[in-house]
A = this chain, B = another copy of it.
Amino acid sequence: MVDVDQYKIMEDALRDRGVRITRQRQAILSVLAAATDHPDANELLVRASAIDPSVSLSTVYRTLTVLEENGVVQRLSFEGVPAKFETTDAPHHDHIIDVETGDVIEFRSEKIEKLQAEIAAELGYEIVHHRLDLYAKRLEN
């Protein structure tokens, strides 16, 4: 478990950027640092409430916005479901969504990253960010 380190890194990064560390933000940050899945705002509220019952849903959303603006979390907006969140400690990756179970698997392909940049450049664009979601089902095998 590297939760403690991960938490510290995020809190320090935020402090450096002048973001106030409140009780509620500590609770939410530690939940995010400990998460190995991709929780949505409601799930984060449940988990953070266990640490600090005073956390409200509004604050979860507000905090997530702040964390996103400061680059410590990323918002994942999949189709038709509430946004999910993950810390940005992991390098960039894309997602495979299991259409049968809803599971989300992460992957990364340098080839695809490079191809995307090439295509954009050809069309006169420079990529700011992208989303590549593969909706798939398990192979029988």
**Hey, which bits of chain A sit against chain B, CB under 8 A?**
77, 79-80, 96, 98-99, 105, 107, 109, 111-112, 115-116, 119-121, 123-139, 141
Contact B135 A123 (CB under 8 A): no
Chain B residues with Cβ below 8 Å from A137 are 125-126, 128
List the 9 shortest-distance A-B pairs measured between CB atoms, nearest first. Answer: A125-B136, A130-B134, A127-B136, A77-B79, A132-B132, A128-B135, A129-B135, A131-B133, A120-B136
Known: A79-B77, A133-B131. A121 touches B139 (CB 8 A): yes
In contact, B112 and A134 (Cβ under 8 angstroms): no
Question: Are A128 and B136 CB-contacts (below 8 A) given A107-B119, A112-B112, A112-B116?
Answer: yes
